[in-house]
Amino acid sequence: MIDPERVADFIRETAAAEIVPRFRMLRQEDIREKKPGDLVTLADLETERRLTRRLTAALPGSLVLGEEAAAEDPTRLGFLSADAPLWIIDPIDGTANFARGRTGFAVIVARVEKGAVRAGWIYDPLDERMVTAEYGSGAWSRGKRLAVATETDPKRMEGAAYGRTRSGTRAAPALEAAGRIGRVRNLGCSALEYTEIALGRAHFSLHSRSLPWDHAAGILVVREAGGLAGFADDSPYEPRILDRPVLATSNHIAWETIRDAVGPLT
């Protein structure tokens, strides 16, 4: 099996070549909408292409499910049910921030085997922070094993919340209006929100959809850092399920608080 540090090197090198030089240097023609409000940039496309080449060459016989390739050809989602090793790539998570010249974006890679997430990498190319996790081996960054926060007072907890409740209310204001947590701070980048939990800087992240390029690696990272992460209804997490709400928290108290305060999402 491929060395996780080798994958980390691929990601760093690709980000240095394709993402960082284009930050705040994109031309108008380098940005387009895949659908209304959903942006893709030249940096997304070139990052995904380069990582696809490098990862499949390093692990012969493996498949790649990239966010941008799946947008062009949805039949690639069938790779999630394949027996072959699978790489899942989000070349730039937080594209809206990146396209607008704002900080708050990252590269995400997950390795899946027979439907189970076995390893994950999240890389912030501006901060040059790589967070990695392997199933059963912990979450790591800059040579240190990560651990979630020990805070247990819900009113001191903060994190991210996206989507709408079944009543139609947006999850973030609904959670704040409940008065049971500290505050909601949405970064517009699920990768960094998972990283914040694993680093002990945040306590929850709630999303209404479970697209695997956004969540597979982050869910593993939070679990390996000692937190809880998966489908919000407590069913077993599977990367092939695309549209079920996902929740990650630092502990059981945060999990129950968020779920009770917001209720089911649409």
Tell me the pLDDT band of 89, cut-offs 50, 70 and 90: very high
Kindly give, in sequence order, each residue whose CB lies less than 8 Å from that of residue 58, ignoring residues fewer than 6 positions away: 2, 6, 7, 10
What does the pLDDT read at residue 263?
A: 85
Among 96-105, 149-158, 218-227, which is the least confidently predicted range? 149-158
Binning the chain into helix, strand and coil, the percentages to the nearest 5 are 40, 25, 35
Exposure on the CB side of residue 83, measured as CA atoms within 13 A:
0
Report, as an integer, the average pLDDT of 232-252: 96
Q: Taking 80 as the threshold, does the pLDDT of residue 132 lie above it? A: yes
Per-residue model confidence (pLDDT) at position 151 = 85
Report the alpha-carbon distance of residue 144 to residue 139 in Å, rounded. 8
Q: Could you give the 3-state DSSP secondary structure of residue 113? A: strand
- pLDDT at 59 exceeding the cut of 90: yes
Write b or e for each residue in 34-63: b if 16 or more Cβ atoms lie within 10 A of its Cβ, otherwise e: eeeeebbbebbbbbbbbbbebbeeebeebb
Kindly tell me if the per-residue pLDDT of 2 is higher than 80: yes
The pLDDT value recorded for residue 167 is 83
Collapsing DSSP to helix, strand or coil, 266 comes out as coil
Domains of the chain: 4-145 (3.30.540.10), 154-262 (3.40.190.80)
pLDDT band at 6 (very low <50, low <70, confident <90, very high): very high
Average pLDDT over the chain reads 96
Token pair recorded at residue 76: 């690639």
The model's confidence at residue 166, banded by pLDDT at 50, 70 and 90, is confident
What integer is the mean pLDDT of 197-224?
A: 97
The answer to whether the CB of 141 falls within 8 A of the CB of 123 is: no
Burial tier of 150 (Cβ tally within 10 Å: 0-12, 13-18, 19+): exposed
pLDDT of residue 9: 98
Tens digits of per-residue pLDDT, 219-239? 999 999 999 999 999 999 999
